[in-house]
Amino acid sequence: MKPDVNGIPTYELAETGKHDLATMLACCAAEADSYWRQPEGERLCAAPYYFERAAILLRKSKDYSGEVAVCERWKAIANDYKRQPIVKARQAALAHEGPRAEAILARLKKAKGLVRNEKAARKKNPAG
């Protein structure tokens, strides 16, 4: 079963919805749901594109906690995917090792720092 949003395959929304946060978050959910529904040991990787786009859009809107959540969701998929026998045997795409996947993990570290900074600023100025 291919991931879709309201009957539209996620790949069709990649270009048309790439600037729309709600669409990218819906694509992330569809990709994640599709991934986790696959049988253990036979899972094919979710597309990291949607997670990266959602993270970018969340950062632009200064929703750092949301960005962390999206990146963590990708990280969970990537960690599970690399344990799949077909991946270990190098018989499946190494999407979890690609530049986009690595960029998401780098964003995660930065976003966690932004969340910490945001919390520290709120403690200093609780009325703000």
pLDDT band at 102 (very low <50, low <70, confident <90, very high): very high
Residue with tokens 């919390």: 119
- Is the pLDDT score of 123 beyond 90? no
Cα Dmax for the chain: 55
For the chain, give me the number of helices (H) and strands (E)?
Answer: 6, 2
Q: HSE-up of 32 (CA within 13 Å, CB side)?
A: 18
Interval 43-74: pLDDT, tens? 999 999 999 999 999 999 999 999 999 999 99
Average pLDDT estimate for 95-111: 94
Considering the entire predicted model, what is its pTM? Answer: 0.90
